[in-house]
Chain A
Amino acid sequence: MDHLIGALVGAPLLGAAVLLLGGRRLDRIGHWVGTLLAAVSFALGVALFADMLSKDTGRRTFTSHLFTWVPVDSFRADVGFQLDQLSMTFVLLITGVGTLIHIYSIGYMAHDERRRRFFGYLNLFLAAMLLLVLANNYLLLYVGWEGVGLASYLLIGFWQHKPSAATAAKKAFIVNRVGDVGLSIAIMLLFTTFNSFSFSPVFGAVRDASGGRLTAIGLLLLLAACGKSAQVPLQSWLGDAMEGPTPVSALIHAATMVTAGVYLVTRSGAIFNASATAQLAVCVVGAVTLIFGAIVGCAKDDIKKALAGSTMSQIGYMMLAAGLGPVGYVFAIMHLVTHGFFKAGLFLGAGSVMHGMNDEVDMRKFGGLRGYMPVTFITFGLGYLAIIGFPGLSGFWTKDKIIEAAFAKGGGEGWVLGVVALIGAGVTAFYMTRVMLMTFFGEKRWQPDAQGHQPHPHESPKSMTVPMIILAFGSVFAGGLFSLNSSFLHWLEPVTGYSEGHSPLTAWQVSVATFVVLVVGAGLAWQQYGRKPVPAVAPRGSVLTRAARRDLLQDDFNHVVLVRGGEHLTRTLVHLDHSLVDGAVNGTAAGVGGVSARLRKVQNGFVRSYAVSMLGGAAVLVAATLLMRGI
């Protein structure tokens, strides 16, 4: 088992090492090596999954201890793996979707001369994410966490010759650092509280810890999750992260990176369960983000940025569910998996559209593409139906469950969260319908690119369409399959726990309500973008629209509060440094210098004056001795 898990993480890591250190001679086969090693990792994941299925429910958790990393007195940091149903789910999602994205990238990056390096980074991304979900302690999880941050930085800034991509990469990295600081402080607090980093001792001892500490740890973990999962207030990097190649966006949004925050909260469920405040904070963050992301998604004309807003919103659903406690953990992960399918499919579809349209991303310059790229249209369309929760498709099974769970929180909170989730579903239907209509329907609004080439939309090569078709199957059937006999619930329940909750509404009522808001949202979008021609230049729009185009002024807020505030703070500190610190140091130096300049006059070089001082000193000593005697 140890070796298998080690190989599972090691295969993509090896790929990254070989591809990044191998140099140009691997250019011809680099993409095959990367894809093969990702596939090996997926095959190992499937083998471990089969092995796990053959065991009894109670004996499925496997923990291993590889070696002691830092042994210092009572401080011990171990390296070890924990494979249970939760990490297994993630392993399959990461390696499965990851492998498909690798295959897709072979075609998508075919004309990029740095393709080998790209695959090296992709492999590094997978390895870091696998380490994150397989670690059996927080410190090793942190290693994977940072690895994911590094890989995302490298990939978002992959086209580093574009200043915007370089800036976006830096932004993603810095915003993530804020969350990382939260995680590192949380880990330190965990160690001082529980004297261990490992999951099982920590979760076992939660009952004995003080409530305040647990709340602090929970809130810091939430901060960390906000950074990686792009939740308010640390969501600003996600939109800019679209500067990376499209497969990267698919990887970040579906299989890795943004799911890490949900994993962290679900994995630390025992801590959150013990602190109602932290749980409520998670719920609020999730609810705010799901509306925030949806509004941003409605206003963006850039197809990838609209999808980025949608990711933010969908992760908001997962955070909301994770914040509900045992009522929601299972559904958070279930939505995460189905979202992995349809969001990866949507991004790959968007990439396919861009591929055929000279890398144009503005949806106002698309239109009428359904006849030209039928496979992309159908797979994208199925992903679209899945994400808006069309009855029968994946999103329907998982999103309805989250809305139901939100109502089941009970009391006023339950109603507020439930209604917010319900409105979010309507807005989701609106912006996704908008994307769909602007891209594939209506008249052609194609325009030549900067070099004057008229676009000739065409279907993408097999290496790109096949992954999209596979993902479309997942988007359609995964949710139903998971819900059949509540199989996913029974699968994950032993790890995360589950309680029914008391929903004031029945499942049917929630489904009907969701369907109604879905139809309303989609209808409004059709009214706006389907019946009327779409203007090629964006209209000015209302205040809210303009704010939403600017990511609801998130960057402006950051600029005014953090950047300007930081500048003022540093200026004040520099001033204080010059006047106070330097003043003290320089003053001391000047004082010593002045005293010395006077003292050096004593050293006049005349031996007789030295003799006088010796005689005087001796006289003083004798006098002192006599006086002391006398007293």
Chain B
Amino acid sequence: MNPVYYLYLAALLFTIGAAGVLVRKNAIIVFMCVELMLNACNLAFVTFSRLHGNLDGQIIAFFTMVVAAAEVVVGLAIIVTFFRSRHSASVDDADLMKL
């Protein structure tokens, strides 16, 4: 099977994730979409690793996973705290920092 298809898949996943981040209001959904984008990147890295025949991309994918996991920890904590104080998970309600 042609590895380029994996790249198409990665691009498709990334686009779905990006569109989700931009159009959805619910913070949890937005968060999931961010994860989707990260995993699309991982897929692309692994594909390139296979294409070029070295392991660099695979290693970077592992790093990305670790970073994503850490991000989930922090991000979910923020979302939970935010929900407690605002009784809402809508990202549009988080606008206290604007002028």
Contacts and interface: CB of A to CB of B under 8 A. Distances in A.
Interface of A: 600, 603-608, 611-612, 615
Interface stretch (B4-12, B40-48, B56-64, B91-99): B91-99
A607 B82 CA distance: 14
Interface of B: 18, 21-23, 25, 91-92, 94-99
B92 A608 contact: yes
Contacts of A611: 21-22
A604 B95 CA distance: 8
A605 B22 CA distance: 14
Contacts of B97: 605
A600 B98 CA distance: 9
Contacts of B99: 600, 603
Contacts of A615: 18, 22
B78 to A, nearest CB: 12
B91 A605 contact: no
Q: Which 6 A/B pairs are nearest by Cβ-Cβ distance? A: A605-B98, A605-B95, A607-B91, A600-B99, A603-B98, A603-B99
B90 to A, nearest CB: 10
Nearest to B27: A607
Nearest to B95: A605
Contacts of B94: 605, 607
A615 B92 CA distance: 18
25 contacts: A600-B99, A603-B99, A604-B95, A604-B98, A605-B94, A605-B95, A605-B96, A605-B97, A605-B98, A606-B91, A606-B92, A607-B91, A607-B92, A607-B94, A607-B95, A608-B21, A608-B22, A608-B23, A608-B25, A608-B91, A611-B21, A611-B22, A612-B22, A615-B18, A615-B22
A601 to B, nearest CB: 9
A148 B91 CA distance: 80
Main secondary structure of the interface of A (DSSP, over half): helix
Contacts of A605: 94-98
A605 B90 CA distance: 13
Nearest to B91: A607
A238 B28 CA distance: 93
B55 to A, nearest CB: 25
Contacts of B21: 608, 611
A595 to B, nearest CB: 15
A619 to B, nearest CB: 10
A606 B22 CA distance: 11
A603 B95 CA distance: 10
A615 B19 CA distance: 10
A571 B21 CA distance: 64
Nearest to B97: A605
A483 to B, nearest CB: 93
B18 A606 contact: no
A604 B22 CA distance: 15
Given A605-B97, A607-B92, A608-B23, 12 more contacts: A604-B95, A604-B98, A605-B94, A605-B96, A606-B92, A606-B95, A607-B91, A607-B95, A608-B25, A608-B91, A611-B21, A612-B22
Nearest to A606: B92
A603 B22 CA distance: 17
B98 to A, nearest CB: 3
A600 B97 CA distance: 12
B54 to A, nearest CB: 21
A613 to B, nearest CB: 11
B3 to A, nearest CB: 21
B15 to A, nearest CB: 11
Contacts of B95: 604-607
B16 to A, nearest CB: 14
Query: Most B CB atoms within 10 A — which of A608, A612, A615?
Result: A608
A617 to B, nearest CB: 13
B14 to A, nearest CB: 11
A451 B91 CA distance: 95
Contacts of B22: 608, 611-612, 615
A116 B37 CA distance: 94
Contacts of A608: 21-23, 25, 91-92
A623 to B, nearest CB: 15
A605 to B, nearest CB: 3
Contacts of B92: 606-608
A166 to B, nearest CB: 59
Nearest to B94: A607
Contacts of B18: 615
A600 to B, nearest CB: 5
Contacts of B98: 603-605
A622 to B, nearest CB: 12
A620 to B, nearest CB: 15
B42 to A, nearest CB: 17
Nearest to B92: A606
Contacts of A606: 91-92, 95
A607 B92 CA distance: 7
B17 to A, nearest CB: 11
A606 to B, nearest CB: 6
Contacts of A603: 98-99
A611 B22 CA distance: 7
A611 B33 CA distance: 12
Contacts of B91: 606-608
A608 B27 CA distance: 11
A230 to B, nearest CB: 69
A390 B74 CA distance: 111
Contacts of A604: 95, 98
A194 B5 CA distance: 88
A605 B91 CA distance: 10
B45 to A, nearest CB: 16
A423 B93 CA distance: 102
A561 B91 CA distance: 75
Which one of A607, A611, A615 has the highest number of Cβ atoms from chain B below 10 Å of its Cβ? A607
A607 B22 CA distance: 9
B44 to A, nearest CB: 13
A612 to B, nearest CB: 6
Contacts of B96: 605
A612 B98 CA distance: 17
A603 to B, nearest CB: 5
A599 to B, nearest CB: 10
Nearest to A607: B91
A600 B99 CA distance: 8
A496 B23 CA distance: 100
Nearest to B96: A605
Nearest to B19: A615
